[in-house]
Structure 1
Amino acid sequence: MIKRKNYLSVLLASFFLILALFLTGCSSEEDASTDESETPTEETEDTEETSSDNDSGSTLAAVEERGEVVVGGNSQLPGFGYVNEDGDYEGFDIDFGKALAAAIFDDPEAIEVRPLSAQERFTALQTGEIDVLIRNTTWTTTRDTELGTNFGPTTFYDGQGMMVTKESGITSLEDLAGARIGVETGTTTEMNLADQFRKLGIEYEQVVFDDSDSLVEAYEAGTVDAWTTDKSGLVSRQATLAEPDAHLILTEALSKEPLGPTVRQGDDQWFNIVKWVTFAIIEAEELGITSENIDDFMDSEDPVVRRFLGIEGELGSLMGLPNDFAYRVIKHVGNYEEIYNRNLGTDSVFNLERGYNTNWKDGGLLYSPPFN
């Protein structure tokens, strides 16, 4: 009996000891939990700050705080992006950057253009040095996925071409067998050239240059027999050559080159802003709205026009923009036809036909989704 009684006593003592330890542990965990919620640790604060920095809309917030849009552009391509005699950036691509500034600040000059080479452009975008890349950049699968970028609407449908001297007697790609052909590094032209000449069974020597200025200089000096880039670029640079009429752009196209603005992945709000500002430029031409007559449309009873101009609806606020963002863009910068003609078309030295870059109603490829 004595042994059994002692055994029971030990069991009871052990039970109460375990219970006490359990209750103490629960109390400690609750206290710790309470302390953490009331006083965040430095690690928690750092996590919250990082999360905040990556929130959707951070690019727009940074642009608004800075007071300007930083645009990655070209400084060597007349008609698209170059520095004029007054030292200002000018061109087709530059105007699309100005359209963003007009939409956000009601001021098309609220931009800073960072001139970038073909090699530098994607790194500058990925690292946040620029807000948007608008620099004759081709939309491809690799760039749209592997590089972490999102392409906006195509603003210029182009194709890769080839320039030669008329004196060379070259009239087709087959005539370039054994030729030295210049290309700019970091562009799609290298792969397109290799693909097309491999398909045709043509042997050639590729000569690579860091930028278009050095490439064109080598071509004019006769260091290379031909040079290749987008046809629009060939037309642009031909006008700057010492003897423009002494050169020929072959009729064959080596590729499809859809060009347009590009942003970093991960900020849907900024991506939407770039898309719909671009679409506004295209839509305005379809609606017949120009920088000159836009105020006449403010009394329109057409619901499509009223939504587009921000008279009705909240389309702008859905993206963090003023509802009259499209009005601002067209009033300050113009519709697609105005931008094209001013820089590349009938009002420019290039007088470049629009071709595919015509509104869909006129048989072209330019098409905007509805503003509703």
Structure 2
Amino acid sequence: MIRQFLASAALATFAFCGSAHAGATFDAIKAKGYVQCGVNTGLSGFSLPDSQGRWTGLDVDICKAIAAAVFGDGSKVRFTPLSAQVRFTALQSGEVDVLARNSTWTISRNASLGLDFTGVDFYDGQGFVVRKSLGVDSATKLEGATVCVQPGTTTERNLTDWFRAQKLTFRPVVIENLDEVESAFFSDRCDAYSTDTSALAAAKVARAQNPDDYVILPEVISKEPLSIAVRQGDPQWANVTRAVYNALLQAEESNVTQANVDSFAQTTDPTIQRLLGISDGIGSELGLPDKWGYNAVKAVGNYSEIFERNVGAKTPLGLKRGLNALWTNGGLMYPIPQ
């Protein structure tokens, strides 16, 4: 009986491994020659088109890294701007192959939406921005305030839960369109605007006539692990997106950059050898070229370069690494080893 059980388990394992290498999504991506990536309709520092329609931002660079790993070319990606209300439907329906759109990884979304979240590319938290002239230095002083918020997001639920826990009242001003909700706040229709703190910083830069007239309050009322997401049902494609993101973290930890990656061609460091596909890589297991990690880093740089280029201290957003620093520097970013 034991021998029969082990044999059955081995067959089941073999069948599972085989299915992981026959993903319909990944096969379709390779056949059409590009990755269709769902991004925000326009969020400074994360995904924003310029006047020529060229997309830039942290989420955009993640998508370019995935395309570079698959095709050896970071330009083999197309971007679909998605609102918060339709982002998950677009992924479920196959309109996009991967979602890199400041979307919070929650257990309920994992369980109910048919999605796999494959890598937290930005640790965030919900906060509040107000006009300095309001004279408020803490969210606990927002009793009776009007608060602008988008529906269909974790933000709306968090807002209600937090005010209830604080025994405070508020009046939500619920507006679906992102541009409209931000316009409502900056035209003084609301006392406060609540969303992820990174988005609040972006809104100040992009929408306020004078950003210094506004202040982000110190309270962070939620955990918002913003993650890459794919449809369930293609574990190979999920593994590809997961591996590429972790390669960007490993590159930072190993001090491999876009500028110096070629200098590691003769390295004897086994971790870097695996990262760059010099030896003992996992390209074949992922269905990728041996140099998939090299191609990703060469296209966009490591995670630190992506962060600093798009949202870091020298950008208009001026964000500190904080929780998004490597684990060796007091943050939560931890590359899974190959």
Which range, TM-score by smaller chain? over 0.9
Distance in 2 between the 1:129 and 1:343 partners? 26
2:137: which partner in 1?
171
Pairwise CA distance, 1:223: 1.0
The answer to whether the 8 A contact 1:77-1:236 is kept is yes
Write out per-residue CA displacement over residues 299-355 of structure 1, whole angstroms, 9 at most, x where no aligned residue. 101122111111112401101001110000001110001000100013422221110
2:286 maps to what in 1? Answer: 319
Choose the corresponding residue for 1:335, options 289, 302, 306. Answer: 302
Contact 2:40 2:47 in 1 (8 A): yes
1:256 matched to 2:223? The reply is yes
Residue in structure 2 matched with residue 45 of structure 1 by the alignment? none
Aligned to 1:285: 252
Give the direction of change, closer, same or farther, for the CA distance of 1:139–1:346 in structure 2 (3 Å limit).
same
1:253-272 deviation digits (Å, cap 9, x = unpaired): 01000011001111100000
Paired position in structure 2 for 1:35: none
| 8 Å CA contact 1:313, 1:323 repeated in 2 | no
SS at match of 1:150: strand
Instruction: Give the alignment partner of residue 65 of structure 2, picking from 75, 99, 109.
Output: 99
Give the structure 2 partner of residue 81 of structure 1. 47
Name the counterpart of 2:211: 244
Structure 1 residue 186 displacement after superposition:
1.5
Query: Aligned equivalents of 2:27 and 2:218: distance in 1?
Result: 46
Residue in structure 2 matching 1:124, options 77, 90, 101: 90
One-letter identity of the residue aligned with 2:261: I
- Asked whether the equivalents of residues 98 and 108 of structure 1 are also in contact (C-alpha less than 8 Å), the reply is yes
Question: Under a length normalisation based on structure 1, what TM-score does the superposition of the two structures give?
Answer: 0.84
Residue deviations 1:141-200 (CA, integer Å, cap 9, x gap): 111111111101111111100011000111222221111111011111000000100000
Letter in 2 for 1:126: Q
Taking the aligned partners of 2:212 and 2:246, their CA distance within structure 1 comes to: 37
Rounded Cα–Cα distance in structure 1 between residues aligned with 2:281 and 2:268: 17
Per-residue Cα deviation, 1:61-101 (whole angstroms, up to 9, x for no partner) = 10111111000101221000111233211100010000111
Identity score, percent? 44
| AA matched with 2:231 | R
Corresponding letter in the other structure for 2:198: S
Task: Give, in whole Å, the separation in 1 of the partners of 2:317 and 2:170.
Answer: 31
Q: CA, structure 1 residues 275+55, in 2 after alignment: closer, same or farther (shift >3 Å)?
A: closer
| CA pair 263-111 structure 1, distance change in 2 beyond 3 A | same
Separation in 1 of the partners of 2:44 and 2:140?
A: 30
Residues 121-153 of structure 1: CA deviation (Å, up to 9, x unaligned): 000011111100100000111111111111011
1:367 aligns with 2:334: yes
CA distance in 1, matches of 2:102, 2:22: 27
* Residue 63, structure 1, aligned to residue 29, structure 2: yes
Is the contact made by 2:37 and 2:63 (CA closer than 8 Å) also made in structure 1? Answer: yes
Q: How do residues 17-32 of structure 1 correspond to structure 2 at under 5 angstroms?
A: none
Q: Is the 8 A contact 1:152 1:271 kept in 2?
A: yes
Corresponding residue number in structure 1 for 2:277: 310
CA apart distance, 1:55 = 8.2
The answer to whether the aligner puts 1:301 opposite 2:265 as a matched pair is: no
TM value normalised by structure 2: 0.92
Aligned counterparts of 2:104 and 2:249: Cα–Cα separation in 1: 19
Partners of 2:188 and 2:262 lie apart in 1 by 54
Q: Does structure 2 conserve the Cα–Cα contact (< 8 Å) formed by 1:282 and 1:335?
A: yes
202-211 vs 274-283, which deviates more?
202-211
Contact 1:185 1:211 in 2 (8 A): no
Q: Secondary structure at the match of 2:130?
A: strand
Alignment of 1:153-302 (within 5 A): 153-240=119-206, 241-302=208-269
**How do residues 111-150 of structure 1 correspond to structure 2 at under 5 angstroms?**
111-150=77-116
Distance between the aligned counterparts of 1:95 and 1:354, measured in 2? Answer: 17
Q: Which aligned segments of 4 or more residues in structure 1 are displaced greater than 3 angstroms?
A: 53-56
Higher relative contact order, structure no. (Cα contacts within 8 Å, ≥ 6 residues apart) = 2
For this pair of structures, how many residues does the alignment match?
Answer: 319
- Find the aligned partners of 2:88 and 2:228 in 1 and give their Cα distance: 12
Aligned residue for 2:323, secondary structure, equals coil
Letter in 1 for 2:210: E
- Please report how far the alpha carbon of residue 54 of structure 1 lies from its aligned counterpart in structure 2 after TM superposition: 11
The secondary structure found in structure 1 opposite 2:322 is coil
Contact 1:184/1:190 (8 A) holds in 2: yes
Q: Which structure 1 residue ranges, 5 or more long, are not aligned? A: 1-52
Distance in 2 (CA, whole Å) between partners of 1:357 and 1:85 is 30
Match status 1:349 vs 2:323: no
Within 1, Cα distance between the matches of 2:195 and 2:57?
18
Aligned to 1:27: none
Which amino acid letter does the alignment assign opposite residue 86 of structure 1?
Q
**Structure of higher CA gyration radius:** 1
In the other structure, the counterpart of 2:56 is: 90
Q: Are the counterparts in 2 of residues 56 and 266 from structure 1 also a CA contact under 8 Å?
A: no
